[in-house]
Amino acid sequence: MKEISTPKAPAAIGPYSQAIEANGFVYVSGQIPLDPQTGELVEDTIETQTRRVLDNLKAIVEAAGTSLAKVVKVEVFLSDINDFAIVNSIYAEYFTNDPKPARQAVEVANLPKFVKVEISCIACKN
C-alpha cells in the first residue's frame, strides 16, 4: 500500500489518508468542501460545495498519477436528497468520459462539519 497526499486538496481532518494506492487502484477518502489553501469550508451553497469537493477529488487522483476518466466507482453523500439534481448536473461536468463510473447517491442524517455533500471514489491506475 502507498499513501497518496497532495497540498492541492485539504489535509485529512482525522486519522486517515487522502487516498491509498493498492493493487492498481486508488481509494480516495470522502472529500468535503474544504479549501485546500485555508482549510476552511467554502460558501454554503450546494453548487459551490459540490464543485470544491469534485476539485479536491480531481487533485487527489491526479496526484496518484491517474484521472477522473479512470474512476470506476463514486459514492455521493447528501445532507438533503433534494439537492441531487443540482449535484448530478455538476458531477456530469467532471465525469465526461464513457463509460461513466458506477455510483451511488444517498441522503444521510449528517456529514462532517455539517456540510451539504461528501464524495469518495475509487480510480484505476492502468
Q: 89: domain CATH number?
A: 3.30.1330.40
Calculate the average pLDDT of the chain: 97
First to last CA, the chain: 16
For the stretch 53-84, pLDDT in tens is: 999 999 999 999 999 999 999 999 999 999 99
For residue 13, the model assigns a pLDDT of: 82
For the stretch 3-14, pLDDT in tens is: 999 999 999 888
- Say whether 107 sits in a helix, a strand or coil: strand
Instruction: Provide CB contacts within 8 A for 18, sequence distance 6+.
Output: 3, 4, 5, 6, 9, 11, 12, 28, 29, 60, 63
Q: Which residue range(s) make up the domain with 79? A: 2-124
CB 47 within 8 A of CB 90: yes
User: Per the structure, how many domains does the chain have?
Assistant: 1
Q: What number of residues does the chain have?
A: 126
How large is the average pLDDT for residues 100-117? 97
For residue 126, the model assigns a pLDDT of: 83
